[in-house]
Amino acid sequence: MGTFCEYMNPVSVLDYRYGTEEMRNIFRADSYLGFLLDVEATLAEVQETKKIIPKNTSENIRKATSLVKRERVEEIESEINHDIMAVVKALEEKSGNAGKWIHFGATSYDIVDTARSIQHKNALALIEKAIDDLIISLSKLAKKHKKTVMLGRTHGQWATPITFGLKIAVFLSELNRHKERLDEIKPRIVTGKFLGAVGSGAAMAPHTLEVQTEVCNRLGLNEPLATTQILGRDRIAELVAWGSNLATSLEKFTLEVRNLQRSDIGEVAEAFNKKKQVGSSTMAQKKNPITSENIGGLARVVRSMIYTTYENNLQWHERDLANSSSERIILPQFYILLEYILIKTENVFSNLFVNVERMKENLDAAEGLPMAEAFVISLSKTDLGRQAAHELIRQITMDAEETGKKFSDAVCENKIVREKIGEKMIAKCLEPKNYVGHSSEIVDRVLNSVK
């Protein structure tokens, strides 16, 4: 993360507070210009092999790409009011006689969409790494605690016992699905195009499809079957929808941390630097789950981008310009924030304090209530039957609550329960570790399934 002194009066917090420098660098203006120039040079190289432009042309164009300065491009753009033609003219200035062949047969968005796809490719590689790192951390946690018994909760109420490892395995399984979805959509996102002004490829016909294939291959991109002047923005909408889904999961995982860190539960906690970290400016005792809360806030920003990406898929005829301005804002923010919250989520779980003793204390404090289902199941196997067993245990719990008696005492004292299942089974039913089912097995299945 950068600091204030590294930038001159930054406007966006993405420049100094949120995000990694590696991801930011993919979307910096100089980097984007470099991608545009690379695409122009690669196009010329392929065109030369197809004899569309003269021999010994592309080498000069390629060499000139290292000489183009962003300041000059911006100066030209301020005069002609066209971003890609400004790039072309700046490159032409440095290319000598070869310059007149730059951008031959291409339209602006052949260059823009292909350069953006290089950004997608590089950015998604960082996203995938962050996902893999989080998978590793969750896997370690699930394995370590696959037999750590705790209260399961539904509707905010005590339910039946669960293991902490199973809780984490559920998160891990969900994260793995997001990775599988990314594998499915990535070919559609990492796609270039060179089909010209309306998607017909007329300007370089009859070689256009060959040129498109070769350029995309050289740049490590896929190619489309058909486009208008631009790649269909359903691709970007799908990407941001996927990322929003992932961001929602990350918020959900860390929301559980926030809830379990509540003072009245206290079963897990974010790492806290006792020597230096301040929890509150006024309440000196506070140790707040600030990273998880930060993740939640930024995940909502990621999700907020969905609406605009769907609107951008609405184009007049073979294209208009309405998508361009918003994508300049959305794409850097989307990738920078998504990677950041992935990294922060990994930090939360790799350093998570799991209070096993508090988990046991909370189970004990429930005074046997979470074991009600165990009694229903055990009694159902007798001649009492399932419905009668359920009603019996329900009544015992209601009576215990009304009289202030512990459920564990009330169920032990109940004549019907004692007659039907006996003291040994009663004791077994009251032990939480006896009612976690296939938790360990499910954890192992999840661990074996992750990629």
Active site residues: 155, 280
Please tell me the distance from the alpha carbon of residue 369 to that of residue 75, in angstroms, as a whole number: 74
Long-range contacts of 87-90 (CB under 8 A, 24+ apart): 87/33, 87/36, 87/37, 87/40, 87/111, 88/40
- Cβ(250)–Cβ(341) under 8 Å? yes
Rounded (10°) CA dihedral 191, 197, 198, 199: -40
The reply to whether omega before 206 is within 30° of 0 (cis) is yes
- Cβ(235)–Cβ(191) under 8 Å? yes
Q: Write the DSSP symbol of residue 150.
A: E
Q: Write the DSSP symbol of residue 96.
A: G
| Cα–Cα separations (whole angstroms), residue 77 to 5, 71, 86 | 30, 10, 5
Please tell me the distance from the alpha carbon of residue 343 to that of residue 324, in angstroms, as a whole number: 29
Radius of gyration of the chain (CA): 30
Q: Write the DSSP symbol of residue 431.
A: -
Please tell me the distance from the alpha carbon of residue 127 to that of residue 142, in angstroms, as a whole number: 22
